[in-house]
Amino acid sequence: MRFFVDTADVDQIRKANDMGVICGVTTNPSLIAKSGRQFEDVIKEITSIVDGPISGEVKATTTDAEGMIKEGREIAKIHKNMVVKIPTTIEGLKATKVLSSEGIKTNLTLIFNPNQALLAARAGATYVSPFLGRLDDISQNGLDLIADIKEIFDMAGDIDTQIICASVRNPIHVMECAKMGADIATVPYNVFEQMMKHPLTDQGIEKFQADYKAVFGE
Ligand code: E4P
């Protein structure tokens, strides 16, 4: 399983990139709004940091296929690595079909059931983004959704669409997605830090330092 970082905060993107673990970035309208910057400015800066797929979403207020296609073409022009993020609606499927026929990469977002993922794949989506955390929030098991999509895509045998585990909230989400063989997890920066934390690692470093200093000094 590969990693994207899920943020529009360029400082966090730089830190995740410097760690050497990410190969892409996902953003959404809420994350862009949180950055307090204009969409195109922040997206351009992200493309200068990470050389991999960068998902930029069509405007939250654009709900018709025609509008999504127009915006998708503009987003794709920003940089060769751009992926157009599109909400998983019927209009979104229509836009996906057109954009993918033009060679523009798409990421179908806000997926909450396996049928949405299958339809997105058949419409030509490059990526599907099932949201785990938001399902957990309403007492449904988000990880079951990933397992179902993975099984359906594998069974089909002719689907190239990649699964991006999204709305990841904790290290257990990441580990379970990796065990299921998901293609990618898009992870908030703080979860990368949580994934690296182990008290025995910290204690081990302290002991090595103490033992070394006792014999060799500082
Ligand atoms: C995915 O692409 C979304 O940007 C993101 O994972 C949503 O996560 P949230 O449910 O924590 O907002």
What is the position in ligand 1's atom list of the atom closest to the CA of 186? 6
Please state the rounded mean pLDDT for residues 50-69: 97
Ligand 1 binding pocket (C-beta < 6 A) is: 6, 26, 28, 109, 129, 131, 133-134, 166-167, 186
Q: Are 186 and 6 in contact (CB under 8 A)?
A: yes
- What are the pLDDT digits (tens) for 158-200? 999 999 999 999 999 999 999 999 999 999 999 999 999 999 9
Cβ atoms of 162 and 23 within 8 Å: the answer is no
134-152 tens-digit pLDDT? 999 999 999 999 999 999 9
The chain-wide mean pLDDT, for the chain, equals: 98
Atom of ligand 1 nearest to the CA of 137: 10
Residue to substitute in 30, 55, 167, 190 for testing ligand 1 pocket (most ligand atoms within 8 angstroms of CB): 167
The verdict on whether 94 is a catalytic residue reads: no
Distance 55 CA to ligand 1 centre (A): 12
At position 46, the amino acid (one-letter code) is: I
Mean pLDDT of 38-63: 97
DSSP per-residue letters across 129-161: EEBHHHHHHTTS-HHHHHHHHHHHHHHHS---P
Q: Is the pLDDT of residue 60 over 90?
A: yes
Taking 90 as the threshold, does the pLDDT of residue 95 lie above it?
yes
Q: Considering the chain, what percentage of its residues have pLDDT values greater than 70?
A: 100
Asked if the model's pLDDT at residue 110 lies above 90, the reply is yes
Q: At 104, is the pLDDT very low, low, confident or very high (cuts 50, 70, 90)?
A: very high
Of these residues, 85, 150, 197, 213, which one is catalytic?
85
Taking 90 as the threshold, does the pLDDT of residue 4 lie above it? yes
Q: Which helix (H) or strand (E) holds 124?
A: none
Euclidean distance between CA atoms 104 and 168, whole angstroms? 26
Cα–Cα dist 26/141, whole Å? 23
Q: Could you tell me the pLDDT band of residue 84, with boundaries at 50, 70 and 90? A: very high
Cα(187) to centroid(ligand 1), Å:
9
Complete domains list, the chain, with CATH: 2-216 (3.20.20.70)
- 131, 137, 174, 191: residue to mutate for ligand 1 pocket, most atoms within 8 A of CB: 131
Is the per-residue pLDDT at 218 higher than 90?
no
User: ipTM of the predicted structure?
Assistant: 0.97
